[in-house]
Structure 1
Amino acid sequence: MTKADSRFGSSDAGLLGDDPGTLVTGMGGTAHPLSALPRRSLQPRKGTAMADLIILSYQDEAKAEAAFEAVQSLERDLIIELAGLALVHVDDKGKTRVEMPDQGNRVGLAAASGAVFGALIGLFFFVPLVGLVVGGAIGALVARLDKTGVNAAFRDRVKSELARGRSAVVIYATKLTQDKFADALAPFGGTVVQTSLSDDEERELAHDLTPVA
């Protein structure tokens, strides 16, 4: 398990609360029940296929930890294919702790997907991971993200959901069976913030993160 710590200065304002299974889609979105998740199976990406970025937010850290374990179980059962997974907790003093499962069993993980996920974690929670979001890469990354579903409104929503004392599971999925995914995570309640990135958007983001020789 990989861990990182940082300081997260979010306020307690603007939360949706802990109504079971609230869904907020990208671009700022509106709230919907978790059951409103589209009942479809996403196939492995190629061409213009999409990857899902899903943030499950909880007031109860124990529920977040249980959901985190459940997602890993879904991966083992081939219900979800992950490019990234993290458990985030912000304590009462605003200190952020990030835990990530070992990546050793994901030998097929695309470098671009891993780089983009690490950069998003760093940007959302101010936690630098493996040196991905540094220097001029930050400006290029933000400019590129503002043209995608991970725009400023979406990022603000994510940060508001991680106010002090809250926890979240951050999922970056390249393939998932959404009816089984929703059914497995529904018992934990919480708030869901979701958007997606296309293959082309991901490649462009990864390019912006590549150091210039």
Structure 2
Amino acid sequence: MAGTLTVWKFDSPTGADTAITTLEDLQKQELITVLDAAVVSWPADKKKPKTHQLNNVTGAGALGGTFWGLLFGILFFIPLIGAAVGAAVGALTGAMTDVGIDNDFIAQVKDKVTPGTSALFVLTTDATIDRVHEEFRGQSAELISTNLSHEQESQLREVFAD
């Protein structure tokens, strides 16, 4: 089964932190296999969000810090970097597109994850989708997701292997 990169957006800066517990419970019940995960928390009064990889849920993490750093850079920090790294960023965003993280996905996340919100980014397999949705009900979470083919998932791992 191919992996799914899922983004759950929450209407508060702490919503994603609360959702980590739900994710851990789902994994314990074997309703989902978490390969890697990260959280973005964006207090309303800050210019930039705080981001961190969830090593406690995933162990080593399938994608590693390089992937999350790049993804979050593209989503939240690139406009601040300037033109000097434009070509390098272009090449890396090309690699992201090859693995199913396209402009639509990026635009959707940028549009929805804003000051005063948070998001849980998760790479999973074997999800029992209806049960997962049930568990998140009541947490005012909005789902933004992209499905990866086997090929895209292995490309993603290859590109971002630490």
Count of aligned positions = 154
What value does the CA root-mean-square deviation take over the aligned residues?
Answer: 3.0
User: For the structure 1 residues 115 and 139, does the alpha-carbon distance in structure 2 shift closer, same or farther, using more than 3 Å as the test?
Assistant: farther
Distance 1:78 1:117, change over 3 A: farther
Q: CA deviation at 1:76?
A: 2.1
Residue segments in structure 1 that go unaligned for 5+ positions in a row: 1-44, 128-133
Among 146, 154, 158, the alignment partner of 2:105 is 154
Shift of 1:126: 3.7
Residue in 2 aligned with 1:166?
Answer: 117
What displacement does 1:102 show? 2.4
Q: 1:76 aligns with which of 28, 31, 39?
A: 28
What SS class does the counterpart of residue 33 from structure 2 fall into?
A: strand
In the TM superposition, residue 121 of structure 1 has moved relative to its aligned partner by 3.9
Q: 1:99 aligns with which of 40, 47, 52?
A: 52
Structure 2 unmatched ranges of 5 or more: 79-84
What residue is the counterpart of 1:23 in the other structure? none
1:55 is matched with 7
Identity %: 25
With over 3 angstroms needed to count, the CA separation of the structure-2 counterparts of 1:164 and 1:201, relative to structure 1, is same
The structural deviation recorded for 1:172 is 1.1
* TM-score, structure 2 as length reference: 0.76
Displacement after TM superposition at 1:74 (Å): 1.1
Alpha-carbon offset, residue 59 of structure 1:
1.6
Q: Which amino acid aligns with 1:71?
A: L
Q: Which residue is 1:7 aligned to?
A: none
- Structure 2: distance between partners of 1:70 and 1:148: 27
Q: Distance in 2 between matches of 1:202 and 1:157?
A: 21
Higher helix share: 2
Counterparts of residues 1-213 of structure 1 (less than 5 Å)? 45=1, 50-91=2-43, 92-103=45-56, 106=59, 110=62, 113-114=63-64, 117-118=67-68, 119-126=70-77, 138-209=89-160
1:163/1:142 CA distance change after superposition, 3 Å = same
**Mean Cα displacement is larger for which, 162-171 or 62-71?**
62-71
| Alignment partner, residue 36 of structure 1 | none
